[in-house]
Amino acid sequence: MSACPPMTFAEISEEKYQALLATAQAQGLALVGIQGDTTYQGLDFTWNYDAPTQCLTIHCTGKPIFVPCGMIESRIRALIA
């Protein structure tokens, strides 16, 4: 398994973060709270939300070699947009 570079998103209000959690959970991701780790479809992720700075960091810490980081990043960016 290999990792991708962490992604940091600015200007994520607490309301937007809660909406992102709800969307992710509806798609089968076990995201609860402001930080943690989860596995989804063979991909390992960690995340951390810092409410005072409104920054969200998501890191794919493990993925199969045949899954490109660019694909993972584009799907996460689409979810957040």
The pTM (predicted TM-score) of the whole model is: 0.90
Q: Which pLDDT tens digit goes with each residue over 32-80?
A: 899 999 998 899 999 999 999 999 999 999 999 999 999 999 999 998 8
Q: What is the pLDDT of residue 27?
A: 85
- Helix H, strand E, coil C: the string for 55-78 is EEEEEEEEECCCCCHHHHHHHHHH
Q: What is the pLDDT of residue 25?
A: 87
Q: Where are the domains of the chain?
A: 7-80
Please give the class, per CATH, of domain 7-80. Answer: alpha beta
Q: Say yes or no to pLDDT of 3 above 90.
A: yes
Edge-first strand order for the sheet with 35-40 is: 7-9, 55-62, 43-50, 35-40
Query: Residues 24, 76: contact at Cβ < 8 Å?
Result: no
Q: Look up residue 10 and give its amino acid.
A: A
Which residue in 25, 30, 55 sits closest to 43, CA to CA? 30
Rounded mean pLDDT, 11-21: 95
